[in-house]
Structure formats: structure tokens, C-alpha cells
């Protein structure tokens, strides 16, 4: 039409179904193509959970496929770490270099110096990395933790089972969300939206408890503003009323519960049961003092929750990127148990972990066995943290405290810890101490910038991968991510890259990987399920039902444990996780908030999605923090002014948005901005909130329990 504007070429239209791995929820997608070009992403009808819809990030996935940050070939760092100076090298040269480095470490008797960081732990790709580490001789596979991990631990302690949490959301008729961003990315994003539509149709009541009027709160039937960080205390306050008024499910509690009443332990000492603790410490008036929620509201909510046919309480703040305090989860889960809705219609289910990756046991040599016998570098599984599988948030400080980094070589795939870890500066300092970092990123990101070698994976629309267990699904699902277009660049599937490294290492390491290619591995792993998976794009068992109460609990007593020995030293009742900073220097509290219009995880937001961000969240390169109008006024601030936001982690310049939808004393900052300026559409804008908040260790699990940090806001 005009020579200087592109005229998109026409051709034959066709559609490819896949699963988009950009968001945490993994949306089922249908991609419209014109010949070999992908031109539009839509939701895939019939996909479990998302059924024909997709979240904004997944809808804009073509901007990742064809975007400027995609890595086009293996890269070797030539400049300083983080400087972004690279030279292109061949795949063979890159693999040879890794094999040589790892070979030397193993010969020197330090295979445990290899670590791996991923964003997931289920499915064939994480399993390949886990197997590689095992035969190589390192126990240090790490995963970025989320609310799912805290929930898994909760089920482990209270049900005695290794399971992931499933929520029968659609059947619930009273939903009490204790800070969960049910419409802000929590769980499987799109499934949550669809569940909400169902709640509206069924006149279910939704109560949102959180300090800020988020989208989840705005669309709830009732918003209960609460003092930041005290949601777990409110859960126990509600439990207090339910117990005191005798509204709990006696059939469940008496017959299938343990630790509800006081008991005498093996040591002969009397222990307070859940009932005693809750009645003693969590009366509505006490709880009101801590949470600033009116005692009448606590009582009303408790009565309504107990009176509902299918009440469901949810835990895990915001999108669920930070695990949170274990006792919050246990308090909320105990609340569900009080009304007998565990493994029941409309309740929380223990769903077995996916177990389809069954490979023959790998043969280990002495070097591997010696390496595997060492303690994990992050402390997970040691005497101090017996419950955690991995504790990535502890890693930076451990590396920084050591003279030489205990991690000598690091693989990173699917994760972006240099952006997502709390206290980013400390994390980056730790990464710069690691002698050898290999990133398998398909797109250049903050962590790949710190790498010595980048071995680019195919993009999410260019590869096969099994995607099991979407967050919060109460029925088992395996989705299939499959290539929509042929790889556009000189990339290799990360699974193939692992196989290549293993083969180059030789010996038992190579022997453990008998597959010709990742594709071969995927097909053989799925076996008879491969063809159905390929045909439908997913395998789903919608008829799955959880174990009935009589056989659901595998705790020592075979019952649901209201109290766990693991937390026994907290018998005075669950305290609130302390956050960093002293109130006199920092009179306010900074909390991060999540929104679907900004990707807060390892994947950077796309140009389309950042375009939807309002101009009182981001303006030019300036980020806005939200503060209650009255608080802002007291600090001498006005709408739009520049201010210094300081926390014990540092001071940044922000602009102020005065809000009526936030509790006084709280400063809220969006998660997902402040990316490195790798491109200028999304990068270099605003501040990464993780820079301002440090990790707070949960005393029991060791996972990050930080929900905020003390802060101050002064006019700039």
C-alpha cells in the first residue's frame, strides 16, 4: 500500500495447538498461522482449566518468538560479567568447553560444586537435569520456590503425604482468600477467572482479605482490609470463633483429626492442642488488635464460612511467587480442616505428584556417590532444614559469606534468579563469585547476562515439552508444548543440550542417557500416552477423586494433624513472620503487588502487555508507588510527586500515587518492572521491587517468608 509500511504476506491459514509456558498457569493456546508465520495466539478450546482463553502475557507470546531479545546462537562472554559483550561460538565448541570444565571438577573430587537452578521440578526437562546432577555427583538441584512449595510442605506435615495442592474451586460456594491474588495471577491464572465466573453464576460468596484493593479485592463480594502480613492470624481468629461456637465439623475433627485436643507426649509432658492454643491466644479482640480487622467482621466471617456448604480458604500472597510463612499455610489449612473440606467437594485436595517420568536407575561411580553424600549447599534436607527440598533464597548469602564460592559451576534453565531473587544486589554479587555459569535461556535476561556461556534453548513456540501439573489443578493434567513454527535461530532444545553435555562427558554420565535425542526421550517416557498426548494436546483425568478421609492421611497417627511436631517449638501459637527494619527509622511498610499487566516472574513482560499498564503505575521510566491518601498527606506528599523510598536494602526514587484503596501505613510497589535494558520496550523502566526487599527465613521450612519490609517515603 505504502512502500515504507510492511505489507503482511498472505497465504494459507492453519492452526497449531500448544501450551504456553510464559505464565505460571501455562495456558492452552491455539496459534493461527499464515503459511509458516505465526500471526495470532488465542486460547485453546477444551484445554483443562484455561478452556479457550489465555492470559495477556500468553496472548502476546509472538512478541517473544519474533522479538529482539531471543538469543540467536551460543554465546561466550568476552567482556566483564553483566557487560553484555559476547562472541558467537559453535554448539560443539560450547559443549566441549562445558564438558572439559565439568570433567576437571569431577576429577578433582568436587562434583558437588555443580548446581542447577530451574523454575520447575516436574516433567522430563527438569528430570534430565536432575539425572545429570545425580550421575555427575551433585545433590544441588534447586528450584525457585513458590506458594506451591509451601502448600506441599503443609500437606506433608498435616496429611503425611507427598502431594501437591489441588483446589476444587468450581464447586466452592464460599471462598475466603487470605491475601491470594485470585484474579491477579495466583494458581492457574485463567482457570481462576473461569472459576470466578462460576461463583457469580452460583451466587457463591467471595471474601478477599488483603491490605490493598487489588483486582481480586475489587471483584470480591467483600474486601476485608487488613494490616499487612497478618492474614494467618486472622485465619486463627476465625478458627477461634468456629471452635468456640461449636461450628466445626465434629465428624471430621473427632474421628480423623489429631492434635486438636491437648495430648500427653512420649516425654510425658502435656502439650496444648490446636483448640487450646487458638482459644487461648486468638480471640476476636486480640486478633483485631493485630490485624486491625473489626472483631464483629471476624465473627461474622467465621459464622458465614462455617455455615457455607462448600467453604474454601486459600493462602499464599499475590501471584504466589514467594512461598511465605509455613504457619500461615498451616493455619489456613487447619481452617479448611475445621469445616471438613479437605479431600472433599469444593475443598483442598491432596493430588499425587506426577510420576510418569520413570527411568531405569542410573549407575553411579564412586565420584558420584561421594559427591551425592555431601550436604546440599543451600542447607535443604540437612538437620536444620529437614523439610525443604531446596532453599534457593539462602544461596546468595552462603556464597557471599564463603571465601570461595561453594558453587563452582551453575546451570540455569527456565529461571531468572538475578531478577526474581529477593535482595537482587546480594544475589548478583553471589552470582559474580560463581566461577562458571551456563545459561540455557532462550531470551537474554538478567541471569543470562551474568553467564559465561549462553546455550540458547528453543523458544516456547519452537519446542516440544511435557507440561504437567498446572498450579492448583485438582485433577491430573499433562499438557503438550509443541513447536508452532520451526526454530528461527541457531538454538537447540535444552534437553538435547543436556544430552550433548552428558555424551561429551563419557563414562557412566553418558551411559545414563541412552536416548538419541530429547524427542526420543519424551516419546519413550510417555510411552502409550504419547500418541493421545500428541492427538489431543493434553492428557487429563477429570474423574480423579482424592482419597477418602479414612485412608487419606499417612501421618504417624494416620489422621489429619492439626499440630505438627516439626513446629512444636512454636507452641505459643504461630507468630507473624518478622520483616526487616526498625519501625523508628522506617515508619511505613513496603509490600509488592502483582498484576496481570506486568509479568513478575522469570519471563519479562512483552511490549503489548506493558502498553496496558496505567500511567499512574509507570510514566516514562518512573515507577509509581501506591500509598493511602492520608499517609501520603502526613509525609507531605501529593499525587504524582517524586519521593525517595528507602528500605534497609537501599533507597530509590519513585513517584507517588495517592490511593483510597490501601490501608494506611503501607506503600505498595508493582512487581515486574525494573528489568535490565536489554531492549528498550520493557527494559530500563521502573524499579525491581526485589531490589528493596530481602529474604526472611521461615524458622521451620527455611523458605522465604518475607511479605514486605519496613520502609520510609520522603519527598524528593
- Contacts of other proteins in 9-48 (CB under 8 A): 9-11, 32, 34, 37-43
Q: Which of 352, 573, 664, 699 binds other proteins (CB under 8 A)?
A: 664
Q: Which of 326, 418, 663, 676 binds other proteins (CB under 8 A)?
A: 663
> Minimum distance from CB of 625 to other proteins (Å)?
16
Closer residue to other proteins (CB): 145 or 192 = 192
Distance in angstroms (rounded) separating the CA atoms of residues 144 and 392: 6
Three-state DSSP at 166 gives: strand
> Minimum distance from CB of 219 to other proteins (Å)?
5
Which 81-100 residues touch other proteins, going by CB under 8 A?
Answer: none
Q: Which of 160, 225, 284, 318 binds other proteins (CB under 8 A)?
A: 225
CA 75: distance to chain centroid? 29
H/E stretch holding 213 reads none
Which 270-329 residues touch other proteins, going by CB under 8 A?
Answer: none
Nearest to 155 by CA among 477, 576, 551, 552: 552
Contact status: 444 vs other proteins (CB under 8 A): no
Distance set, CA 400 to CA 207, 380, 404 (Å): 43, 18, 8
Pairing of strands 174-178, 205-209: parallel
Contact status: 607 vs other proteins (CB under 8 A): yes
Nearest to 365 by CA among 167, 558, 264, 510: 510
Contact status: 6 vs other proteins (CB under 8 A): yes
User: Which residues face 644 on adjacent strands?
Assistant: 653, 714
Alpha carbons within 13 angstroms on the beta-carbon side of residue 151 total 26
> Minimum distance from CB of 482 to other proteins (Å)?
19
Cβ proximity of 628 and 213 under 8 Å = no
581: phi > 0 → left, psi -120 to 50 → alpha, else beta; which?
left
Instruction: Please tell me the count of residues contacting other proteins according to CB under 8 A.
Output: 74
Cβ proximity of 57 and 599 under 8 Å = yes
Per-residue interface string for the shown chain with other proteins, residues 327-366, x marking contact by CB under 8 A = ----------------------------------------
Contact status: 74 vs other proteins (CB under 8 A): no
Cβ proximity of 90 and 96 under 8 Å = no
Contact status: 203 vs other proteins (CB under 8 A): no
Contact status: 661 vs other proteins (CB under 8 A): yes
Q: Which of 100, 511, 578, 614 binds other proteins (CB under 8 A)?
A: 614
> Minimum distance from CB of 53 to other proteins (Å)?
4
> Minimum distance from CB of 5 to other proteins (Å)?
5
Across the chain, how many H-helices and E-strands are there? 25, 30
Closer residue to other proteins (CB): 459 or 702 = 459
Three state DSSP letters for 644-677: EEEECCEEEEEEEEEECCECCCEEEEECCCCCCC
> Minimum distance from CB of 190 to other proteins (Å)?
5
Distance in angstroms (rounded) separating the CA atoms of residues 668 and 626: 5
Distance in angstroms (rounded) separating the CA atoms of residues 531 and 154: 36
Which 52-71 residues touch other proteins, going by CB under 8 A?
Answer: 52-56, 59-60, 62-63, 65-68
Closer residue to other proteins (CB): 41 or 117 = 41
Closer residue to other proteins (CB): 165 or 665 = 665
Closer residue to other proteins (CB): 5 or 358 = 5
Q: End-to-end CA distance of the chain, in Å?
A: 50
Closer residue to other proteins (CB): 169 or 610 = 610
Per-residue interface string for the shown chain with other proteins, residues 105-144, x marking contact by CB under 8 A = ----------------------------------------
Q: Which of 177, 390, 442, 628 binds other proteins (CB under 8 A)?
A: 628
Three-state DSSP at 129 gives: helix
Q: Which of 202, 612, 651, 714 binds other proteins (CB under 8 A)?
A: 612
Q: Which of 218, 251, 548, 638 binds other proteins (CB under 8 A)?
A: 218
> Minimum distance from CB of 172 to other proteins (Å)?
17
Distance in angstroms (rounded) separating the CA atoms of residues 333 and 550: 18
> Minimum distance from CB of 211 to other proteins (Å)?
11
Give the interface segment with other proteins, choosing from 141-149, 323-331, 507-515, 611-619 (CB under 8 A). Answer: 611-619
Which 512-571 residues touch other proteins, going by CB under 8 A?
Answer: none
Each residue of 584-623: b (16+ CB within 10 Å) or e?
Answer: eebbbbbbbbbbbbbbbbbbbbbeebbeebeeebbbeebb
Contact status: 486 vs other proteins (CB under 8 A): no
Which 671-700 residues touch other proteins, going by CB under 8 A?
Answer: 679-681
Closer residue to other proteins (CB): 215 or 405 = 215
Distance in angstroms (rounded) separating the CA atoms of residues 119 and 88: 27
Q: Order of strands, edge to edge, in the sheet holding 465-468? A: 465-468, 477-481, 538-540
Closer residue to other proteins (CB): 66 or 359 = 66
Backbone angles phi, psi at 603, to 5 degrees: -90, 135
Contact status: 386 vs other proteins (CB under 8 A): no
Q: Which of 76, 81, 205, 219 binds other proteins (CB under 8 A)?
A: 219
Give the interface segment with other proteins, choosing from 82-90, 109-117, 212-220, 372-380 (CB under 8 A). Answer: 212-220
Closer residue to other proteins (CB): 27 or 391 = 27
Closer residue to other proteins (CB): 219 or 244 = 219
> Minimum distance from CB of 183 to other proteins (Å)?
5
Q: Which of 205, 244, 281, 619 binds other proteins (CB under 8 A)?
A: 619
Nearest to 447 by CA among 471, 422, 428, 468: 428
Q: Which of 131, 240, 493, 597 binds other proteins (CB under 8 A)?
A: 597
Closer residue to other proteins (CB): 630 or 644 = 630
Cβ proximity of 29 and 53 under 8 Å = no
CA 335: distance to chain centroid? 23
Give the interface segment with other proteins, choosing from 370-378, 397-405, 581-589, 654-662 (CB under 8 A). Answer: 654-662
Cβ proximity of 416 and 602 under 8 Å = yes
Three state DSSP letters for 364-395: CCHHHHHHHCCCCCCCECCCCECCCCCCHHHH
Cβ proximity of 571 and 210 under 8 Å = no
Give the interface segment with other proteins, choosing from 168-176, 302-310, 613-621, 645-653 (CB under 8 A). Answer: 613-621
Q: Order of strands, edge to edge, in the sheet holding 174-178? A: 222-224, 205-209, 174-178, 311-314
Which 172-191 residues touch other proteins, going by CB under 8 A?
Answer: 183, 189-190
> Minimum distance from CB of 334 to other proteins (Å)?
28
Closer residue to other proteins (CB): 39 or 571 = 39
Give the interface segment with other proteins, choosing from 81-89, 126-134, 194-202, 353-361 (CB under 8 A). Answer: 194-202
Amino acid at each position: 500500500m505504502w512502500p515504507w509500511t510492511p505489507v503482511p504476506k498472505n497465504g494459507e491459514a492453519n492452526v497449531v495447538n500448544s501450551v504456553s509456558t510464559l505464565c505460571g498457569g501455562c495456558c492452552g493456546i491455539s496459534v493461527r498461522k499464515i503459511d509458516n508465520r505465526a500471526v495470532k495466539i488465542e486460547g485453546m478450546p477444551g484445554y483443562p482449566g484455561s478452556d479457550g482463553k489465555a492470559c495477556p502475557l500468553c496472548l502476546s507470546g509472538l512478541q517473544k518468538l519474533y522479538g529482539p531479545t531471543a538469543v540467536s546462537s551460543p554465546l561466550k562472554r568476552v567482556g566483564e560479567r553483566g557487560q553484555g559483550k559476547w562472541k558467537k561460538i559453535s554448539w560443539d565448541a560450547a559443549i566441549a568447553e562445558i564438558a572439559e570444565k565439568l570433567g576437571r571438577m569431577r576429577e578433582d573430587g568436587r562434583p558437588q560444586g555443580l548446581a542447577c537452578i530451574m523454575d520447575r521440578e516436574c516433567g522430563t526437562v527438569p528430570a534430565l537435569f536432575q539425572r545429570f546432577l545425580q550421575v555427575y555427583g551433585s545433590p544441588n538441584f534447586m528450584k525457585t520456590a513458590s506458594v506451591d512449595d509451601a502448600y506441599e510442605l503443609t500437606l506433608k506435615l498435616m496429611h503425611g503425604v507427598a502431594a501437591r495442592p489441588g483446589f476444587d474451586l468450581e464447586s466452592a460456594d464460599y471462598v475466603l482468600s487470605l491475601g491470594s491474588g485470585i484474579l491477579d495471577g495466583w494458581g492457574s491464572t485463567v482457570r481462576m477467572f473461569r472459576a470466578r465466573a462460576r461463583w457469580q453464576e452460583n451466587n457463591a460468596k467471595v471474601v478477599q482479605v488483603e491490605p490493598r484493593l487489588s483486582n481480586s479485592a475489587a471483584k470480591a463480594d467483600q474486601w476485608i482490609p487488613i494490616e499487612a502480613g497478618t492474614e494467618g492470624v486472622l485465619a486463627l481468629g476465625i478458627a477461634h470463633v468456629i471452635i468456640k461456637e461449636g461450628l466445626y465439623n465434629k465428624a471430621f475433627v473427632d474421628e480423623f483429626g489429631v492434635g486438636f485436643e491437648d495430648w500427653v507426649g512420649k516425654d510425658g509432658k502435656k502439650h496444648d492442642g490446636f483448640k487450646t492454643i487458638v482459644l487461648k491466644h486468638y480471640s476476636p479482640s486480640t486478633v483485631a488488635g493485630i490485624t486491625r480487622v473489626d472483631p464483629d467482621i471476624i465473627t461474622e466471617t467465621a459464622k458465614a464460612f462455617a455455615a457455607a456448604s462448600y467453604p474454601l480458604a486459600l493462602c499464599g500472597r499475590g501471584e504466589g511467587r514467594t512461598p511465605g510463612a509455613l504457619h500461615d499455610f498451616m493455619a489456613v489449612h487447619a481452617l479448611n480442616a475445621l469445616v471438613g473440606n479437605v479431600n472433599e467437594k469444593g475443598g483442598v485436595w491432596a493430588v499425587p505428584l506426577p510420576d510418569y517420568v520413570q527411568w531405569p536407575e542410573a549407575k553411579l561411580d564412586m565420584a558420584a556417590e561421594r559427591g551425592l553424600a555431601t550436604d546440599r549447599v543451600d542447607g535443604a534436607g540437612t538437620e536444620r532444614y529437614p523439610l525443604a527440598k531446596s532453599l534457593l533464597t539462602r544461596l546468595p548469602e552462603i556464597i557471599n559469606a564463603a571465601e570461595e564460592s561453594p558453587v563452582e559451576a551453575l546451570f540455569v534453565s527456565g529461571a531468572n534468579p538475578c531478577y526474581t531473587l529477593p535482595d537482587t544486589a546480594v544475589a548478583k554479587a553471589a552470582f559474580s563469585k560463581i566461577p562458571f555459569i551456563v545459561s540455557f535461556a532462550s531470551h537474554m535476561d538478567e541471569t543470562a547476562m551474568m553467564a559465561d556461556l549462553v546455550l540458547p534453548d528453543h523458544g516456547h513456540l519452537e519446542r516440544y515439552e511435557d507440561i504437567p501439573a498446572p498450579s492448583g489443578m485438582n485433577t491430573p493434567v499433562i499438557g503438550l508444548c509443541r513447536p508452532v513454527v520451526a526454530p528461527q535461530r541457531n538454538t537447540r532444545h535444552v534437553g538435547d543440550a543436556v544430552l550433548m553435555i552428558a555424551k561429551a562427558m563419557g563414562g557412566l554420565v553418558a551411559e545414563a542417557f541412552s536416548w538419541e535425542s530429547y524427542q526420543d526421550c519424551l516419546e519413550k517416557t510417555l510411552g502409550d500416552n504419547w500418541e493421545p498426548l500428541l492427538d489431543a494436546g493434553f492428557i487429563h483425568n477429570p474423574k480423579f477423586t482424592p482419597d477418602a478421609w479414612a485412608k487419606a492421611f499417612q501421618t504417624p497417627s494416620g489422621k489429619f494433624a492439626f499440630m505438627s511436631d516439626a513446629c512444636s517449638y512454636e507452641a505459643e501459637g504461630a507468630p507473624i513472620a518478622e520483616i526487616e527494619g526498625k519501625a523508628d527509622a522506617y515508619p511505613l511498610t513496603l509490600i509488592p503487588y502483582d498484576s496481570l499487566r506486568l509479568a513478575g516472574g522469570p519471563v519479562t513482560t512483552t511490549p503489548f502487555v506493558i502498553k496496558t499498564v496505567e500511567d499512574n503505575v509507570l510514566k516514562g521510566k518512573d515507577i509509581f508507588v501506591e500509598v493511602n491518601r492520608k499517609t501520603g498527606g502526613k509525609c507531605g506528599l501529593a499525587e504524582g510527586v517524586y519521593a525517595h523510598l528507602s528500605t534497609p536494602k537501599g533507597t530509590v526514587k519513585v513517584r507517588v500515587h495517592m490511593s483510597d484503596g490501601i490501608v494506611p501505613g503501607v506503600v505498595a510497589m508493582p512487581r515486574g518492572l525494573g528489568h535490565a535494558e536489554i531492549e528498550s520496550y520493557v527494559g530500563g523502566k521502573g524499579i525491581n521491587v526485589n531490589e528493596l526487599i530481602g529474604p526472611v527465613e521461615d524458622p521451620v521450612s527455611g523458605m522465604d517468608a518475607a511479605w514486605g519490609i519496613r520502609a520510609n517515603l520522603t519527598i524528593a
